[in-house]
Amino acid sequence: MNASLPVVRLTPKANARALRRGFPWVYSNELVLDRRTKGLAPGTVALLEDCERTPLGLVGVTPGSRIAARMLDRDTGTSIDKTWLTARLRKALSLRERLYDAPFYRLVHAESDGLPGVIIDRFGDVAVIQPNAAWAELLLPELAEALAGVTGVGCILKNSGSRGRALEGLDDANAVLLGEVPAAPIAVQMNGATYLADLTGGQKTGLFFDQRPNQAFAALLAQGQTVLDVFSHVGGFALAALAQGATSALAVDGSAPALALATEGAARMGAADRFATRQGDAFDTLAALGVEKARFGLVICDPPAFAPAKPALEAGLRAYERIAKLAAPLVDEDGYLVLCSCSHAADLGSFTGACLRGIGRAGRRAQLLHTGFAGPDHPLLPQLAESGYLKALVFRL
C-alpha cells in the first residue's frame, strides 16, 4: 500500500459494492468531505477506503465536483506516474492498431480505457488531448511525454473546450504541448470519403470519429439517392454518401467554417458538382424545406446533445421528437431516415420513443432497419452507462 498518499473514505451509505464491481466514480454525497478532504488540491491522487477502512483503490480527487473521486487503479501499491500512463496508453494503442490500418481514431476513450476523464483523438502525426478531469490536468506534462513516447506523434494539442472541464473547476485555455500547430486542416480518409479536420478552430477535437460505422451503414443506402445531411458539421454523412454513389447531397449546418471544410472535402473527392450546402438553424431549415416540398431518398439528422444531463432530459426528448416530425415529411416513399443522439441521459428506449412519436405525428409509418452505436475505438465500459452515449436509428419510411 502507498503510505505516502492522503486517504479519503466512503460514507456508510455509499455504494462500495458498485465500486468493487467496476463503477469508476464516487459522487460527492458518497465521500466523507471533512475539512482535511475538502482541503485537498483538485486532482490529488489519494487512497480510497470504504467506511470500514478497507482499501478500494487509488483515485483522483476533486472535492468541489459532483464526481468527487475517479478510480484510477485498484492496485493500491502502484504509482500514478509517467510509467503508469505509458502502460495505459500502450494498451489503448494496441486495440486501435488492431482495428484500423491508418492512425486516425479515438486513441483514449476516458474511463473505458482506464484514463478517467481523458479523451485523446489521433490524426496521423497529431494528437489532441482533452483532459477533462483535474487529476489529468495535474499530470498533463507526464501524459504528453508518455503519449509522444508511445505513439511517436510529432504534435500534441490540448483542447479545453469540453463542458466537463468547467465542472472540474478547470480553465478553457487551449495549448500546444508538443511541436507546432498544423498550418492547414488535416485530411482524413474514412468510408471512402475525404474529411478535413480543423484541430484548433473546429468543434471538439476537429472530427467526430464515433459516427464512422453509422456513416458507413447509411452510405449503403445512398447509392442513386438524393441525400440531406442536417447538423452535418464537416460533411460526416453527406460525404460518405457521395463516396457510395449518391446522386446529390445537401449539407445543413449553422457553422459557415464547417460547411466550407465540407465543401473542400467534396472537391477533393471529385464530387463538388454533386454537393451543396445551406447554412442556418437546423429546425428553421427543416421547416423551410418542408414548405418548399423538398424530398430526399435519404435524410440524416445528427444533432448535438439535446439532453446532456438528466435535468435536460424531458426538454431534450421533445427536441428529438420535433426533429423527427420535421424530417419525416422530407423523406421519399420507401426512403430512409437516420436519427442520431449523443445524449447519454437519453437512453436508447427513450430516444427511440421520441423518434417514433415524431414520425407518427408527421403521418408516416416506419420500419426500424438498424440500430447503431459508436465505433469500437469508443469502447463501452459496461458499468458506466455514460460511456455508451451514441445511438443511431435507421428507419425506412
355 and 393 in contact (C-beta within 8 Å)? yes
Mapped onto helix, strand or coil, the DSSP state of residue 1 is: coil
Stretch 138-154: mean pLDDT, rounded? 98
From 301, 340, 342, 355, the catalytic residue: 342
136-150, 162-176, 183-197 — which is least confidently predicted? 162-176
Task: State how far the Cα of 141 lies from the Cα of 317, in Å rounded to an integer.
Answer: 41
Distance of CA 97 to the CA centre of its chain: 20
Stretch 59-87: mean pLDDT, rounded? 97
Mapped onto helix, strand or coil, the DSSP state of residue 329 is: helix
Residues 6+ apart with CB under 8 A from 55: 1, 47, 48, 49, 76
**Residue for grid cell 473547476:** 169
pLDDT digits (tens, 9 = 90+) for 320-335: 999 999 999 999 999 9
Strand partners, 59: 46, 71
Which domains are seen in the chain, by residue range?
7-73 (2.30.130.10), 82-178 (3.30.750.80), 191-396 (3.40.50.150)
pLDDT at 203 over 70: no
Mean pLDDT of the chain: 95
pLDDT of residue 164: 86
pTM, entire model? 0.95
pLDDT digits (tens, 9 = 90+) for 3-32: 689 999 999 999 999 999 999 999 999 999
Active site residue 301: no
pLDDT of residue 195: 97
pLDDT bin (cut points 50, 70, 90) of residue 1 is low
Q: Rounded to 5 degrees, what are φ and ψ at 368? A: -90, 115
pLDDT bin (cut points 50, 70, 90) of residue 224 is very high
368 and 329 in contact (C-beta within 8 Å)? no
pLDDT bin (cut points 50, 70, 90) of residue 309 is confident
